[in-house]
Structure 1
Amino acid sequence: MRTLYFLLPGTYGRFACGGLWAELKTLNLAQQICTAAVVTYRQREKDTLFLEDVLARSELEDVIFVLSWGFDVPKLARQLRSHHTIYHAHSTGYGFRLPATVPIITVSRNTLGYWGQQSPQALLYYLPNLISHEFQNRHQPRDIDVLVQVRKSSEYLLKQLVPALQDQCNLVLLDGYVADLADLFNRSHLYLYDSAEYWAQARLTEGFGLPPLEAMACGCQVFSSVNSSLADYLDPGFNSYKIAGCSVDYDVARIRQALTSPTRLGLTETDLAPYRFQALVHRLEVILQDINHFFDGHYSLTIAPLTARRLLRLRWQRTLAKLQQRLQGL
């Protein structure tokens, strides 16, 4: 196995976010299989490799660079075009294309389908994000009725639904960093998540949607939007509830009913198994073996890419063929 270098702009400060933590968890998975390390490219950090220094080496045949930071991927891909490179794809909508010689590992089936259409000649794989062991149902008393995080929440959720609920139940609104989110999920009966508006404004997609799945792993019922990758695991009416159901009154009624009903919607440990450590280590090992074998062959692109120009030509050929058929039928 070649060494994996996970390229990140930095690992703390302004780069700290859910995407960073998810990528570091994937790094930990990779370290169970092969040598893997973080390489930063914007800020130098103590005891961490820096991309400029790594590229100064004369030999990098035994290295694979892992790209993941969406906005930086096009520039990094050009910079590393002569090296072995993987794109670890989370959100979609950045608008760039990659050569078919860059394998793509996606964190959701929604993103897998996107790249299956955008880059049909590339090697494509599915590796969902890890649900850490601390996210599990502790079967303890729950003193919070409804839990809401401000970040990524819709205007509807914060300005209409939350005010309508505050006088009717014990609602906790989170507006900042939480050291132990698993503890809060285990203390909460319901978790509300509505990110469709946020991602639509950003013109991107929900890459995975960790919070609702982590909440469900802790036995907390979820009311959520079902945009993009959330549809990978949310099944409204069977394991979760669809939020923003036509009217505020209807949402309030359903939330009150969910708080009092003995029937609880959620996921079992069997449902969660594909997102746990052992399953993902095995899946990643298979993926990396396949990718290493591909890079061993030093294959070059011989299949025509699906570019805008080629699509235009194919449409013209199809139109011309239909026109010829009609003329022959006269």
Structure 2
Amino acid sequence: MRHLYFLVPGTGKRFHCGGLFAELKTLKLAQQICPAEVVTYDQREPGTLFLDDLLQRPGLGNSIFVISWGFHIPRLVRRLRGQQVVYHAHSSGYGFTLPGDIPIVTVSRNSMGYWGQKRPNGLIFHLPNHISPEFTNRQQPRDIDVLVQTRKSSNYLLNQLVPALEPHCNLVKLEGFVDDLSILFNRSKVFLYDSAEYWALSRVSEGFGLPPMEAMACGGQVFTSVNGALADYLDPGFNCYKIGVHSVGYDCDRILAALQTPTPLAMTTADLAPYRADALLPRLERILAEINHFFDYRAKHRADIPDLTKPRLTRLWLQRTADKVRKKLGR
């Protein structure tokens, strides 16, 4: 197994987000299989490798650079030309293309389908994000009726639904960073998550949607949008409820009724099993073995499958159109 370097812009507070934490969890899984380290490239940090310094080292042929930060991918690909690179794809829709010799590991089937269409002549794998052990139902009393994480929430949720709910229940708005969300999820009966508007404005997709799954892993009920990768695991009416339906009153009635439900909708232990370390570790080991074999093969053999570039697609379209015309004329 080659040495893995997971590239992130930084790990300090200004970079804290779901994508960073998910990447660092994947790094910890990889460290149980092969040598793996985090590398920053925008900010130097004590005790952490910095990309400028790393690229000066000899013998990087036995290394793989794992890149993941969506908007930074084009410049990282240019900078790492000649190295062995893997793209760990979270959100999709950034608009860039990738050469066929960069394997892609997607965190959702939604992203896998996106890259399967956009870049059909390369290696693509699916490795879900890790739901770590702290996200579990602790079977404790829940003193928060409704929890709302304001980041990524829609205007409808914050400015219409929340004010309508507040007089009828104990609603808590989470507006800042929390070190351990599992504590709040275990205190909450219902979690509201409506990210479709946020991602539409960002013009990229929901890459995985960790908060709803983490809330359900802690035994809470979830009212949520089902955009992007959320559709990978959400099943409205069976493990969650769809939010933003018809009217504020309709949403309010269903949320208040859910607070009184003795058997809440949630993901089962079996539903969550594919996202736990016991399932992810053998999956990641197989993916890394295939990627290492691919890089061994690539070093000795040239590629001969053409990319689906715009010029080639244009030629194929003209060829198909001409064939149709000839068939019609030959009748």
Match of 1:49 in 2: 49
Match of 2:138 in 1: 138
Distance 2:90 2:248 in 1: 32
2:249 alignment partner, SS class:
helix
Letter in 2 for 1:322: K
Distance 1:200 1:156 in 2: 14
Match of 1:317 in 2: 319
TM-aligned CA deviation for residue 177 of structure 1: 1.0
Runs of 4+ in 1 over 4 A off after TM superposition: none
Match of 2:302 in 1: 300
Match of 1:191 in 2: 191
Letter in 2 for 1:196: A
Match of 1:8 in 2: 8
Match of 1:328 in 2: 330
1:132 alignment partner, SS class:
coil
Match of 2:109 in 1: 109
TM-aligned CA deviation for residue 25 of structure 1: 0.4
Confirm whether residue 285 of structure 1 aligns to residue 308 of structure 2.
no
Alignment of 1:139-288 (within 5 A): 139-288=139-288
Task: Provide structure 1 residue ranges, at least 5 long, that are not aligned to the other structure.
Answer: none
Greater CA deviation, 16-25 or 101-110?
A: 16-25
Distance 2:85 2:140 in 1: 46
Distance 2:280 2:266 in 1: 21
Distance 1:116 1:288 in 2: 19
Greater CA deviation, 207-216 or 5-14?
A: 5-14
TM-score, length of structure 1 as denominator length: 0.98
Q: Deviations over 1:154-212 (max 9, x none)?
A: 00000000000000111111100112211111111100000000000000111110000
Distance 1:126 1:237 in 2: 26
1:158 alignment partner, SS class:
helix
Q: Deviations over 1:231-262 (max 9, x none)?
A: 00000000000000111110011111111122
Letter in 1 for 2:51: L
Distance 2:181 2:38 in 1: 25
Q: Deviations over 1:125-161 (max 9, x none)?
A: 0001000100000111111110001000000000000
Task: Give the total of aligned pairs.
Answer: 329
Match of 1:27 in 2: 27
Distance 2:35 2:179 in 1: 29
8 Å contact kept, 1:101–1:300: no
1:87 alignment partner, SS class:
strand
Letter in 2 for 1:313: R
RMSD: 0.8
Greater CA deviation, 117-126 or 45-54?
A: 45-54
Distance 1:130 1:59 in 2: 31
TM-aligned CA deviation for residue 43 of structure 1: 1.0
Greater CA deviation, 25-34 or 39-48?
A: 39-48
Distance 1:262 1:277 in 2: 30
Distance 1:280 1:27 in 2: 12
Match of 2:66 in 1: 66
Distance 2:222 2:110 in 1: 20
2:253 alignment partner, SS class:
helix
Greater CA deviation, 298-307 or 62-71?
A: 298-307
TM-aligned CA deviation for residue 58 of structure 1: 2.6
2:61 alignment partner, SS class:
coil
TM-aligned CA deviation for residue 278 of structure 1: 1.3
Distance 1:167 1:216 in 2: 25
Distance 1:31 1:248 in 2: 47
Alignment of 1:76-91 (within 5 A): 76-91=76-91
Letter in 2 for 1:311: L
Q: Deviations over 1:4-53 (max 9, x none)?
A: 00011111131121111110000000000000001111111111111111
Distance 1:57 1:180 in 2: 37
TM-aligned CA deviation for residue 317 of structure 1: 0.7
TM-score, length of structure 2 as denominator length: 0.98
Q: Deviations over 1:305-329 (max 9, x none)?
A: 0111111111111110000000000
1:61 alignment partner, SS class:
helix
Distance 1:198 1:300 in 2: 42
Identity of aligned residues (%): 64
1:167 alignment partner, SS class:
helix
Distance 2:109 2:172 in 1: 32
Letter in 1 for 2:207: G
